[in-house]
Amino acid sequence: MTKIQRIFKPHNKSQYKRYTRSTGGNALFFIFLFLAGAFSVVPLIYCISTSFKPIDELLLFPPEFFVKRPTIENYLALPTLLNNLGVPLARYFFNSVFVAVASTALHIIAAAMAAYVFSKGKIHGGTVLFLIVQFALLYNGYTLAIPQYFIFSKIGIIDTYLVYILPAIPSSMGCFLMKQYMDSGVPDALIEAACIDGASIFRTFWTIVMPIVKPAWMTLLLFSFKDMWSIIPSGTIFSEQLKTLPQVLSTLSAGGIARSGSAMVATVLLMIPPIIVFVISQKNVIETMGSSGIKE
């Protein structure tokens, strides 16, 4: 057995029983949390309920929370409303998926590599550089917009896919999260052992560290996808064929109250991909648990 295998062995079911809740306590907790959580789900239910409202209920003031006579009219009207766009709807959909997937994937890889160097690689100036990355989070974005716009136009990425993707890659938050997670979750002894066994730096990072920190990048996957999926560029995209789905669908709500039903349908449909990514990411966060019993 190599040293890595000894440290990185599958988790044994512990003999010791932790202070866990009883089944009854668990059920009580679930009910309590479920009721508290119900308060949080209100807007989602309101959106779904409104998307099924017929026109007279939409015009009602004040709006009723729940739909009285549900109809799928708004859903059926959506394709007609979107028919006279310059570019087929599928193109906007593709743009959104492409932008969200590409920037999320590149961001996770770039941020994880940098985080690994900050956490485990002893390089000159690493600590200072990491603090700069971390503190950059605290600088308000508003006044950065103008200098950023100048940079976009200087390097010629205005009105290309790159203007969505490139600025999303070096997001401080992702690097910070991964670094903190590696600090507490990956023992230095493991890295040393891998080194003794002759694994290269990159191999150690990719095949040993990344699987351990899967809960972190699965969480990051959700944050990044959610943000990029809903991105509406301001002044950096002019070509119709490069616009994203949320950008196009937001024009619906500008169509006044008569279209508010369909605008709500669009809102509901736009929520579906982030919800799917949420479920995938959370299932994976949990599944990592059993497989990574690390002995320090």
Footprint on residues 46-65 left by other proteins (CB under 8 A): 46-47, 61-63, 65
Residues 191-230 that bind other proteins (CB under 8 A): 200-202, 205, 215-216, 218-219, 222-223, 226, 230
Minimum CB separation of residue 74 from other proteins in Å reads 17
Minimum CB separation of residue 293 from other proteins in Å reads 7
> CA 40 to CA 78: how far, in whole Å?
28
42-50, 66-74, 78-86, 92-100 -> range binding other proteins (CB under 8 A):
42-50
Nearer to other proteins, 65 or 238 (CB): 65
Nearer to other proteins, 71 or 288 (CB): 288
Rule CB under 8 A: say whether 14 interacts with other proteins: yes
Secondary structure element (H or E) that encloses residue 291, with its range: helix 260-291
2-10, 23-31, 74-82, 90-98 -> range binding other proteins (CB under 8 A):
23-31
Could you say which of 22, 39, 69, 254 contacts other proteins (CB under 8 A)?
A: 39
> CA 75 to CA 267: how far, in whole Å?
11
Rule CB under 8 A: say whether 294 interacts with other proteins: yes
SS3 254: coil
- Residue 110 half-sphere exposure, CB side, CA atoms within 13 Å? 16
Residue (of 223, 140, 142) closest to 176 by Cα position: 223
Tokens of 252: 């619906």
> CA 109 to CA 132: how far, in whole Å?
20
Residues 110-169 that bind other proteins (CB under 8 A): 110-111, 113-114, 116-117, 121, 123, 129, 132-144, 146-148, 150-151, 155, 166-167, 169
| Count of residues that bind other proteins according to CB under 8 A | 99
> CA 11 to CA 291: how far, in whole Å?
6
Q: Is 206 in contact with 197 (CB distance < 8 Å)?
A: no
Minimum CB separation of residue 94 from other proteins in Å reads 22
Nearest-10 crossing angle of helices 214-229, 89-120: 140
